Chain A
């Protein structure tokens, strides 16, 4: 019997072993990570990938074996994602994030941050004025589940007690965790809502300011202004900054989508989204710090001056970290 003389068959027979090798390397890398590859495999991967790509080109041009072409397309796509996928390790990425990416991204959002900050202040001031004139407004700004009995009807002594509660009967760590997850959800929400052309984010940020103003006004009318300042500022500096930044990130996405300028809407949204994505990852870190300060620091530290000192320290820390000019380094290279 004569042998099979199809060129496509001989082509396949000659190269199949290389494809199998590439497949084995990929299966290992996808299953257990690139670190599990031996030096030999790691060096072979790009070579085998290029060989497979060349096979694909040849097969498309000369072979009519559809099963083979489908297989090579799938193999090349997998290899492509492996060879050109992210290379840096987790530690490198984290260092880069804190050293460069996060502060850079925050700085580039300064305009949105100012707007977000302005809205919070506007909300706080208007709620403060309204509640000072007529305490009945308090209920309109403060949802019951957050007020926890702190209302206009409460006595001064009762209000003072809430500010200097050592956490008896309360569970510090559980409380801190709850506050963190709660605030993180609000921050993520402010960010995602930005996609709906900024308006819902603006509402959320302003609403946050209204609550703050109403809360402060309540204590000031009871003569506890200084104390409530310390009580709020110890964690509020970090927490409010985080929520303001989340709002800013949302605004950036919304404005880029609404007014893309010379780019296409899709490109503008993508560019804004990546930048604000970095900011948002940092916002979660800030909220984690705020949660720790609020749940633990505030209960442990009972003296108002120390609370103010800590608040001032965190505020200057964040400002220096984000906005202090720094030298360009090699990490900036390909950005």
Chain B
């Protein structure tokens, strides 16, 4: 029965990024190792963009107020005109170079992208050049500012229809990332870039260490260990990382039923799972060294 194994605990245990294979891409380094990068999906990119938009908006308002206050304080005409120049330039720079400036940094990401663990990278795995960054952001004119202009335009009669058609036309570019395999927007196409999910991960403690200490030398037979494969082991790892009593109990019961081992009153559910985890991992890694990777419980042992 499909529900009678640890795989049923998969739904809540999604801390690790088990991205759909459709978003996995090959990125082979010059050393010949495939980094198996993952593309950012459209919702993450939209989220990052909204965050950036809010930051830009807040910066613009804050700077405008600041410049306004400074202009009022100078009380003369030259001061005022310098302020106008400053303001025009600030708006221009924010609008056109906010993205460029941040993507040129080593992180290759704007604050919004950083928050969501995204970064811009070159599609061919090479360097991300300044002209590519410039080109990908110049395209925002078509993808963001033009549709925005249409959306905020007011008209009636024929002009209104023209604006409506304009919005429909712009939608082609705005929604482009949703309609191609690599989630490329117009700017990415033109610049040869894509946006990757590249979060900073902390090294999680090895579950085997803790589990080994708690396991108190409980032994399993080889038949008991040959019940499961790598996939189930990883789900079990996740369950142990969370260590929620209810899940532990459910998973322990299912494993006991499956391997036909009676419950031991001396051994808590957690300790049982710990022991089983260490033993199963030892067994599967042993088989791995002999060139045999057992993918899941359906794979022949």
Q: Which residues of A contact B (CB under 8 A)?
A: 1-2, 4-9, 12, 16, 19-20, 29-30, 33-34, 50, 53, 56-57, 61-68, 70-71, 73-78, 80-82, 84-86, 93, 101, 171, 173-174, 177-178, 180-181, 184-185, 188-189, 191-193, 195-196, 253, 266, 269-274, 276-278, 280-281
Contact = CB atoms under 8 A, between A and B. Distances in A.
B107 A277 contact: no
Contact of A56 (B33, B81, B85): B33
Interface of B: 16-17, 27, 29-31, 33, 35-37, 81-82, 84-85, 88-89, 91-92, 96, 105-108, 119, 121, 123, 126-132, 134-136, 138-143, 146, 169, 173, 184, 186, 189-192, 196, 198-209, 212, 217, 230, 233-234, 237-238, 241, 278, 281-282, 284-285, 288-289
Contacts of A253: 190
A75 to B, nearest CB: 7
28 contacts: A4-B278, A6-B281, A12-B206, A61-B288, A63-B285, A71-B201, A76-B33, A84-B126, A85-B106, A85-B127, A86-B130, A101-B131, A171-B81, A174-B81, A174-B84, A174-B85, A181-B91, A185-B141, A188-B141, A193-B141, A193-B142, A269-B189, A273-B191, A274-B131, A277-B132, A277-B135, A277-B190, A281-B131
A71 B203 contact: yes
B209 A82 contact: no
A84 B108 CA distance: 13
A66 B13 CA distance: 13
B284 A64 contact: yes
Contacts of A189: 141-142, 146
Given A188-B141, A195-B190, A269-B190, 4 more contacts: A64-B285, A73-B35, A84-B30, A174-B88
Given A30-B107, A189-B146, A62 B141 contact: no
Contacts of A50: 31
A64 B288 CA distance: 9
A273 B189 contact: yes
A271 to B, nearest CB: 8
Contacts of B85: 173-174, 177
A188 B144 CA distance: 13
Contacts of B233: 64
A71 B205 CA distance: 11
B138 A191 contact: yes
Contacts of A101: 131
Contacts of A270: 123, 189-192
A74 B140 CA distance: 29
4 closest cross-chain pairs (CB), A and B: A277-B135, A273-B190, A67-B204, A270-B192
A270 B92 CA distance: 26
B121 A188 contact: no
**A70, A81, A253: most-surrounded residue (chain B CB, <10 A):** A81
Contact of A5 (B139, B192, B282): B282
Contacts of A67: 16, 203-207, 237, 241
A231 B107 CA distance: 47
B121 to A, nearest CB: 7
A192 B119 CA distance: 23
B82 A173 contact: yes
B198 A177 contact: no
A270 B36 CA distance: 23
Nearest to B202: A71
Contact of A53 (B31, B36, B140, B230): B31
B208 A273 contact: no
